[in-house]
Amino acid sequence: MLRVFQNDLVDPDHFTITLELVPGREAMGLGVDTVMGIARDAFADGRVSAVSITDNPGGNPSLSPDVLGHQIFQIGMDVIVHFTCRDMNRVGMESRALQLAMMGMKNILALNGDYSGKGFGGQGAPVFDIDSVQLQILLGLLSERIQASGDPDVFFGGCAVSPFKQTEGECFAQYAKLCRKVAAGAQFIITQLGYDARKFQELIQIKNYMQLETPTLGSVYVLTPRAAEIMHGGKVPGAVVTDALLRRIKKESRDPQAGRQAAIERTARLAAVLKGLGYDGIHIGGIHKNFDTAGRILDRLAQIENRWREFVEDFDFPQPNGFYVFDRDSGSSPSTARFGRRPITPYLLERWRYAFLKLTHDIFFNRDNWLAPLFRKTSQYLDGRVGSRVLIDLIEHPAKAILLQCAMCGDCGIQHVGFLCPESQCPKHIRNGACGGSTGGHCEVYPDRPCIWYRAHRRLAHVGQTGQMVKGCVPPRMWELNHTSSWLNFHLGRDHQSVSSQITLRCRASSCTF
């Protein structure tokens, strides 16, 4: 009989266990046999509600989670399929989602995805046609179509969040994005990996603060010395292993057997802490050879879960000068966040550019402005005439290239990102909030650059407008407008702000307090 992840997760008396499986590159052989063996043993054990299958982790080619997940699904184990935005455009993603629905796999963890890694002949071209918020909306719209066709089982979409951010801007951006994901339809949350109990607690606090009731699983991981070094080096975007934790793990592993036991004990203790803090379950990673290690973790958890307060101090690994949203003694439902307590002042050029672009937008691209009818009539006159090319080539493109590094997408989204261009300045082209990969305010893909959403927060915090990062959901870019005038498209009602009302309304129906 199929064990249903959704039923377990929404049961308030059930502490849900999920297990992450990472398929290798090969389509046949030891890797697949090992993964299938772990899944069979997990099903037989009876404590695991679902296994999740990663989608080309690190951006490197691996066996598709769809085919492997289907094999696991057939043995009776429920499956969560990781679904990233990296490798397909929106047409391919919609087709893939329909295929998963046909195979009965409707638990989807919607992710932006790691940046593209090496494939055939070199690095793959990153797609990122839509982001994880827009993917949630796509799954919701497809669910309506599935129901209309007579299938009562719709997609059960989930999202990820990384509470382990170092700076105020990154913390705000993560939780603002989480708000949008839930408003877009996410029905469960899985955290990224970290070892700071206070950060784990803050996620529960911020959910209460934003009035989110979405079930949440905390990630735990069997942290070996090799895995710890990889995460410490920033090679797993969003995961945090500090210097102090790495030193401790290396010390424990001088005796390999003792080090292995310490890793299992650490995982069980963190699971106990998460259960005590109020998480709805745990998501276990780092199980690569057999299910025995996961079984030992769950056995130990059952022995120590009532002693969870004793272990909180074992997970006190803060990042240097790390920002915390709430005071340490603020309780489970704090009324005041610490955002904005310290003045945030961008560089003078950043302030000038924001002020200039904001003023320009309010005058020329505001439909409530008294000049709007004049701009619309002028746009109607220019559209399709030689004057439109003059406007683009001599005025619009040069000005936007200097101020915004404009990519001439024809469907401008700068107003959603603190008047920064998400097409030219974000490698993942995200219009709805930060991905989980930034470190210390710097971009996952280009570490020498500040994350565009970190910069957007600084600009908006300086003028008291950070609520713009939570407001509604932004539809995807309209590729049919590429290399046309975004100015004319706005005034003629052709861009996403006019055409994509069905998408924007999916988020406006529900919102967060922030």
Q: What tens digit of pLDDT does each residue of 305-325 get?
A: 999 999 999 999 999 999 999
Is pLDDT above 80 for 27? Answer: no
Is pLDDT above 90 for 513? Answer: no
> Is 294 strand, coil or helix?
helix
Residue 390: predicted pLDDT: 83
**In angstroms, how far apart are the furthest CA atoms of the chain?**
78
Residue 1: predicted pLDDT: 47
Is pLDDT above 50 for 216? Answer: yes
Q: Are residues 364 and 490 in the same domain?
A: yes
Residue type, 299: D
Q: Are residues 71 and 154 in the same domain?
A: yes
Tell me whether residue 471 is in a domain.
Answer: yes
Tell me whether residue 218 is in a domain.
Answer: yes
- The pLDDT mean for the chain works out to 92
Residue 329: predicted pLDDT: 79
The CATH number assigned to the domain holding 208 equals 3.20.20.220
Q: What percent of the chain has pLDDT over 90?
A: 79
Tell me whether residue 236 is in a domain.
Answer: no
pLDDT band at 441 (very low <50, low <70, confident <90, very high): very high
**C-alpha to C-alpha distance for 237 and 177, rounded to whole angstroms:** 16
8-state DSSP, 396? I
Residue 46: predicted pLDDT: 95
**C-alpha to C-alpha distance for 426 and 442, rounded to whole angstroms:** 11
Task: For 463-494, write each residue's pLDDT tens digit.
Answer: 999 988 988 899 999 999 999 999 999 999 99
Q: Are residues 284 and 371 in the same domain?
A: no
Print the domain residue range for 418. 348-508
CB 191 within 8 A of CB 174: no
Residue 145: predicted pLDDT: 94
Q: Are residues 284 and 384 in the same domain?
A: no
Give pTM, 2 decimals: 0.95
Tell me whether residue 297 is in a domain.
Answer: no
> Number of structural domains, the chain?
2
Q: Are residues 99 and 180 in the same domain?
A: yes
Task: For 347-357, write each residue's pLDDT tens digit.
Answer: 899 999 999 99
Is pLDDT above 80 for 244? Answer: yes
**C-alpha to C-alpha distance for 275 and 307, rounded to whole angstroms:** 11
Q: Cα separations (Å) of 303 from 66, 260, 265, 285, 339?
A: 36, 19, 11, 20, 39
